[in-house]
Structure 1
């Protein structure tokens, strides 16, 4: 990487760190259950996504503040079709969510964050608040089995209250790509800002990974067990 681009990348990262810290402060964000995260070594965090994925910087900021580790996020693969996102996201700790990228990160000892609901949870409508969209999502279960790493479930509380859906929400969408799941809803905040709701990120007890040769039924059972843990953590939220 040439020097000007490297300088730009560092500047963007510093700006993003400052924005994440301000977001955490604005939302009085807190991390519960940080003792479930190892101080070193690979681990896969799996949980629910908020509308627009807005909560992610604050979540990553709290993890870094608690552990000293920078998380690596597995981003929805379709976002990498958008030129600006494709360029900037890796600068901020996001990689295209392929199994190869995830395995490489875990084998290097990274703390990896996965949102199995992907764009379906990020671009949800009002009826999708705090609902997991993990249908047929076995990728993280296969990844945990192949890498042999524990899965720490987490729940984002308040993440679907930072914005509100206006009347006629089904019509008020912007398409990022031709795929219907990348229809970004237009939502409302408090003027130019999101609503100042409190964000709480609750981490649960780690799940031991399935064996490397786990059957499809075993992987489905593992996925459902992790989803059940996330749902239990979500019951702490009065609106979940």
Structure 2
């Protein structure tokens, strides 16, 4: 994408106005909160009087990620600007929806422009890969070696607020994941033809086959915990020092994992209603 195209997208992003028909949006947030019996923690850390970069873990298929936006909305009254994968803009109808909600293309130029204009931004560093998890990656961060969000925060001069989502990976049960698929004759054939490399990055982003309640695609009413950490500042970190960027990234990921573990402990000690337990175990 050329710089001119990026600047055009930035101009469009800056012109965006929050939906005027907020009743339906509040209803959507409230419905998701009730269905997943969400428990928020750290809402007191949400101060967006100055721009911040929210950095969150992804849930399987992004099903419960809306709760991250909802918590920020509940505390601040602001619909935070999310960064989206290019895939969002290839799906008719859906792309109109994400644009309506203020989601912009995940690009450094666009994101930095929003932050410098005084708006806060939300990014999921794991991207599509973290959404398409494998069995052994449930409730784990799948960020590879990505440090772009650290560079973004430093260049824009804003702190990072880490966010963890626990429980979102349990609303669906993975039946077949990318590793399973690659072992089948069809998967091996697809690998030889190069289709996997062309469309799914070597099956790295191949969607798993999963089921919700029973054998339906209706998500299980699993309780979800969304935790917001304290702002982390990275003053003095050089953006041209890969080791320093990775060390800064580990500071963010460690905090998210810590909050994830705390949520896991709370979940194990919380007694859920019988109907919710039954529906979550079908």
TM-score w.r.t. structure 2 length? 0.73
Q: What is the rounded CA distance, in whole Å, between the counterparts of 1:105 and 1:88 in structure 2?
A: 20
- The equivalent residue for 1:122 is 131
- Given that 2:72 and 2:78 are in contact with CA atoms closer than 8 Å, whether structure 1 keeps it comes out as yes
Quick check: 2:177–2:208 contact (8 Å CA) kept in 1?
Answer: no
Identify the residue that residue 112 of structure 2 maps to in structure 1: 103
Contact 2:154 2:237 in 1 (8 A): yes
Q: Which residue of 2 aligns with 1:49?
A: 58
1:178 aligns with 2:191: no
Match of 1:216 among 220, 235, 242: 242
2:171 is matched with 162
Q: What are the superposed Cα offsets for residues 206-239 of structure 1, whole Å, 9 maximum, x if unpaired? A: 1102437442221111011111111111112158
Q: Distance in 1 between matches of 2:234 and 2:46?
A: 15
Aligned residues: 230
C-alpha displacement of 1:16: 4.8
Q: Is this contact kept in 2: 1:31–1:63, CA < 8 A?
A: no
Residue-by-residue CA offset, 1:98-119 (whole Å, 9 max, x unaligned): 0011112211222211111111
3-state SS in 1 of match to 2:173: coil
**How big is the shift at 1:83?**
4.2
Counterpart residue number, 1:206 = 231
- TM-score w.r.t. structure 1 length? 0.85
Contact 1:42–1:106 (CA under 8 A) maintained in structure 2: yes
1:179 Cα deviation from its structure 2 partner:
2.6
Aligned position for 2:10 = none
Which residue of the other structure, out of 66, 70, 81, is the alignment partner of 1:72?
Answer: 81
**Mind listing any 5+ residue stretches in structure 2 that lack a counterpart?**
1-15, 188-195, 269-282
Report the aligned-residue RMSD: 2.7
* CA distance in structure 2 between the partners assigned to 1:46 and 1:192 by the alignment: 28
Q: Within the alignment, does 1:152 sit opposite 2:161 as a pair? A: yes
Give unmatched runs, 5+ long, in structure 1: 1-5
